[in-house]
Amino acid sequence: MVLVSAFGIHDPGGNGVAMTEVWAWVAVHSEGEQSITAVMVPGQGNTPLVFQQERVARQFLPLVQQLARQTGKPQRLVRLSNPETVTEVHP
């Protein structure tokens, strides 16, 4: 994952795992729509709760439970799989 911030670009390199799925916390709205849950990180803005590994996503459960109580919206952990490359940008 390449992270871009006010401090520049950070490329930590791969973790040796092919990305075949991502895990995301999503809020469920009254009409049944869903949106990716995000949290405010000081100095970084909104950060979506999207992860490459389920175990990492589950570490955010206490925070997500707090968000559900504060917003009154159910939160779901969903697995998005079968990735399809739509666009690829080369340097």
Domain boundaries, the chain: 20-81
Q: Which two tokens stand for residue 76?
A: 């779901």
Q: Is 27 or 41 the better-scoring residue by pLDDT?
A: 27
Q: What is the pLDDT of residue 43?
A: 85
Percentage of the chain exceeding pLDDT 90: 56
pTM over 0.85: no
3-state SS class at 66: helix
Q: What is the pLDDT of residue 8?
A: 54
Q: Which two tokens stand for residue 89?
A: 């940008």
* CA angle in degrees (0–180, nearest 5) for 51-14-17: 65
Mean pLDDT of the 36-47 span: 89
pLDDT at 75 over 60: yes
Q: What is the pLDDT of residue 2?
A: 45
